[in-house]
Amino acid sequence: MMKAAKRLDTVQEYYFSKKLREVRALLAAGKPIINMGIGSPDLQPPPAVIEAIQQAVLQEGAHKYQSYQGLPAFRQAVADFYQKNYQVAVNPENEILPLMGSKEGILHISMAFLNKGDQVLIPNPGYPTYTSVTNLVEAVPVFYDLTSEHNWEPNFKQLEQQDLSTVKLMWVNYPHMPTGAKATENLFKKLIAFGKKHQLLIINDNPYSFVLNDTPLSILGTEGAKETAIELNSLSKSFNMAGWRVGMLLGAKPILEEVLKVKTQMDSGMFYGIQQGAIAALKVSSGWFENMNEIYQKRRKLIWQIAEALDCTFDKNTSGMFVWAKIPAEKKAENIVDDLLYKHHIFIAPGTIFGSKGEGYIRFSLCVPEEKIKEALDRL
C-alpha cells in the first residue's frame, strides 16, 4: 500500500467530516437526528440569485474556463458592496481576488507567505482549519488564548512578552467563531498597530458580519490597514450560499499578487453562472439582512431555552450563527454531546474541537428550522 506523505501526520480528518458519518449511520438506522452542530445555512439565497444563475448558464461562453481573477463585474460588485456596507474603498482592478470559498484562501495565503518553520499566531478557540493548513505547509502554530474575561479578544500584553521574531502571519476572525464576539473599531486599531510593529500579515476572516450584527465592520476600514492586513469574506453565511463556494480576498495589490501566483496553479477560474449569481447577491437591498436576522433571532431565543435546560450560561450580546454556551463546571462537553446524540438524538458540537480554550463549552448552530428547535426542546 502506498504510504501517505509525512505532512499528513500533523493533521486528522476534519471533526465534522467524521462525526457526520456517525450521524448519517444513526439516521440510516431510523434515528430522528436533529442536526444543530453544523453552520450550514438552511435558508434559501435571494430569489434574484437563482434567477441570475439560471439565465447565465444559457449565455454564450458561460461554460468555458473563466479568468483566474474573476469577472470584472464581480470584482466591481464586491467593491460596491464594501463601500456601501463597510464604508471601505477597494480598487476592483487589483485589490479584490475572488476565491472558491474563503477556506481556499486560507491555504493559498499560507502557501504564498509561509516557509518551513515560520510561526503563525492562531486564536484558541478558533477555526480548526487555521491550524491544519499551518501544519500542512510545515509552519508552526503558536496559539494565543481568547477568554471570556478578556471579551474573547487577544491579550496584547501577553503577546508582546513572547518572541515574535519568526512569526509571519496572525489569523483573526471577527465576528468570532465559535464565541460570537463582535468586532470593534478599537480592537482593529490594536491589531493594525501590532501588525505594523512586528511586521506581521494580519488576516481577518470575516464571514459573519451580517448575521445578528447591527454594526458590520471590516478591518480594512482601519487607518493604515492595507499596509499590514488583508481580509477574507464570503457569501456563504450572509446570503445562504455555502454550497456555491464563493469567497473573496481583499487587500493591497502586492499581497494579492503573491496569492494569485498560488491560486493560478490550483484552479481554472470560477464558473460563470456562479459569478453572475454572486453579483446578484451583492446587489440586494439591506432588507435582505433584516429579514434573515428576524428568522435567526427567533431561532436563537429558542436555543437559549435549550441551553438553559442543560444548565448552561451564555452571552446574549453576540453575533454570528451560533450560540456558545458554558456548561456546568463538573461536566465534560464530549459527554454532554454524546448524551444528547444517543439519548435525545440531537447533535451539537463540543467546544474542544476549536481548541483547548473551548473546554467547558458547547456550540449550537442556528441553521435549524424553528419547528425542529422546538422539537429538540421537547425532547429534553
Is 8 a residue whose pLDDT tops 90?
Answer: no
Is 19 a residue whose pLDDT tops 80?
Answer: no
Continuous segment of H or E residues that includes residue 45: none
Q: Percentage of the chain with pLDDT > 90?
A: 87
pLDDT at 28: 85
pLDDT at 2: 86
Is 12 a residue whose pLDDT tops 80?
Answer: no
Is residue 26 very low, low, confident or very high in pLDDT (cuts 50, 70, 90)? confident
| pLDDT, tens only, 150-191 | 999 999 999 999 999 999 999 999 999 999 999 999 999 999
Beta strands 349-350 and 346-347 are unpaired
pLDDT at 297: 97
pLDDT at 25: 85
pLDDT at 323: 97
Set of cell numbers at residue 215: 454594526
Segment among 34-38, 86-90, 303-307 with least mean pLDDT: 34-38
Is residue 355 very low, low, confident or very high in pLDDT (cuts 50, 70, 90)? very high
| pLDDT, tens only, 104-152 | 999 999 999 999 999 999 999 999 999 999 999 999 999 999 999 999 9
Set of cell numbers at residue 93: 482592478
pLDDT at 14: 67
Phi, psi at 231, each rounded to 5°: -135, 135
pLDDT at 103: 87
* Residue 134 near residue 120, CB atoms below 8 Å: yes
pLDDT at 62: 87
What mean pLDDT comes out for the span 362-371?
96
Is 66 a residue whose pLDDT tops 80?
Answer: yes
* Residue 111 near residue 137, CB atoms below 8 Å: yes
Computed on alpha carbons and rounded to an integer, the radius of gyration of the chain in Å comes to 21
Q: Report the alpha-carbon distance of residue 91 to residue 72 in Å, rounded.
A: 11
Please name each of the domains of the chain with its CATH number: 6-44+287-379 (3.90.1150.10), 48-282 (3.40.640.10)
Phi, psi at 283, each rounded to 5°: -95, 0
The three-point CA angle 219-221-227 to 5° equals 70
Q: Report the alpha-carbon distance of residue 340 to residue 342 in Å, rounded.
A: 6
* Residue 269 near residue 65, CB atoms below 8 Å: yes
Is 7 a residue whose pLDDT tops 90?
Answer: no
* Residue 293 near residue 321, CB atoms below 8 Å: no
What mean pLDDT comes out for the span 299-318?
96
The three-point CA angle 239-244-246 to 5° equals 75
Give me the residues paired with residue 96 across strands.
Answer: 250
Give me the residues paired with residue 376 across strands.
Answer: none
Q: Which residue has the higher pLDDT, 22 or 114?
A: 114
Mean pLDDT (the chain) is 94
Is 205 a residue whose pLDDT tops 90?
Answer: yes
What mean pLDDT comes out for the span 30-40?
90
Q: Report the alpha-carbon distance of residue 196 to residue 318 in Å, rounded.
A: 29
Is residue 267 very low, low, confident or very high in pLDDT (cuts 50, 70, 90)? confident
Is residue 20 very low, low, confident or very high in pLDDT (cuts 50, 70, 90)? confident
Set of cell numbers at residue 204: 481577518
pLDDT at 11: 76
Q: Report the alpha-carbon distance of residue 280 to residue 50 in Å, rounded.
A: 9
Reported pTM: 0.94
Long-range CB pairs of 74-79, under 8 A, 24+ apart, other chains included? 74/98, 74/275, 74/278, 74/279, 77/278, 77/279, 77/282, 77/283, 78/248, 78/250, 78/282
